Amino acid sequence: MSGYYLGFDIGSVGSKAVIINDSGMVASSVIPSGTNYATTSAAVKAAALQSAGLQESDITATAATGIGGRNAGADSYHGVIICDARGVNLTFPTARSIIDIGGQGSQLITMDEAGQIINFNISEICATGSARLLQVVARILQTGMDEIGPLSLKATKPSNFSTSCTVFLETEVITRISQGDKPEDILAGIHRSIADKISGMARGVTLQEDIVVIGGGALDSGLVQSIEEKLGMKMLVPDNPRLMAALGAAVIARETKT
């Protein structure tokens, strides 16, 4: 009987757990991270086990990543870059670059055909380069996170913003609303702001196709399109872009035991 391996990704916004066996993903779960990473880790693990119909004793090895990953009680902890690369390599063997847009920052990663990292660039100093800006704007527009993408694709004249700071953008979005800008145009303008930041980061690394967009930001089809336009390159998005780092952690757990 083949073993089961569990990967955690305890992020700033969401916590994810993925269970794999020798042939691939068996089950997964995603819950909000909250403030106690240890409790959250236990809960997200329990949810994944339940979904797989497994007991804790069925798990051969565990590995964790993410800002709260050290509190997950896993057998090992790994950086998010390496986990992203492993998860994406398993999902898209042709992938050579990754754009990970998370709640606390973004990562650009380039890798070879074996999923070995060539170069990377991390931005976690500015909310505008992260999915956090989307949350802030969604709250002002009273739009669900899952509605942002489809809505923004209806934009006819994207709003222009004079600032790239999330705090100042918050004010500017309200000004634009008062001037009659449509929500879809505001969102499209915000997507451009994020795409600009990402393309600035891309100066440090040479992105090569296939490029895979992952993280919470990848769920926003409007943002992905905006990045495609800005970089002039086609992007791939996995079915479950938020799970890639947890999947990668599970792959690493499996590697350590085989």
Partner 1 sequence: MNDLASELFFAGIDIGSTMSKAVITDANNVMRSYVVGPTGAEHRRRANRVMEEALGKAGITLDKIAYIISTGYGRVNVPFADKQVTELTCHARGVASLFPDVRTAIDIGGQDAKVLRIKNGRLVDFLTNDKCAAGTGRFLEVAAETLGLELNEMGRISLQTDTPVKINSLCTIFAQQEIISRLSEGQPLPDILAGVYIAIATRVVKLARQLRVETPVVFTGGVAKNPGMVKAMESVLGVPVLIPQEPLITGALGAAILAREQAFQLIQRGEYDTHREKMLSEAYIEYGEGSG
Point out which residues bind partner 1 (CB under 8 A): 12, 35, 104, 124-127, 132, 136, 163-168, 178-180
Closest approach of partner 1 to the CB of residue 95, in Å: 29
Closest approach of partner 1 to the CB of residue 1, in Å: 43
- Nearest to partner 1 of 128, 240 (CB atom): 128
- Nearest to partner 1 of 126, 153 (CB atom): 126
Closest approach of partner 1 to the CB of residue 126, in Å: 5
Distance CA 213, CA 179 (A): 34
Amino acid at 102: G
Closest approach of partner 1 to the CB of residue 37, in Å: 11
User: What sign results for the dihedral spanned by CA atoms 107, 239, 159, 202?
Assistant: positive
Those residues whose C-beta lies under 8 Å from the C-beta of residue 35, and which sit 6 or more positions away, are none
- Nearest to partner 1 of 86, 132 (CB atom): 132
Closest approach of partner 1 to the CB of residue 125, in Å: 4
Terminal Cα distance for the chain, rounded: 14
| Count of beta carbons in the 10 Å neighbourhood of residue 167 | 10
Closest approach of partner 1 to the CB of residue 136, in Å: 7
Distance CA 129, CA 164 (A): 9
- Nearest to partner 1 of 62, 159 (CB atom): 159
- Nearest to partner 1 of 21, 128 (CB atom): 128
Distance CA 110, CA 95 (A): 9
- Nearest to partner 1 of 126, 145 (CB atom): 126
Tokens of 63: 């590995």
Instruction: Starting at the earlier edge strand, list the strands of the sheet with 211-214.
Output: 117-123, 106-111, 97-101, 211-214, 235-236
Instruction: Look at residue 175 and give its three-state secondary structure.
Output: helix
Pairing of strands 14-21, 76-77: unpaired
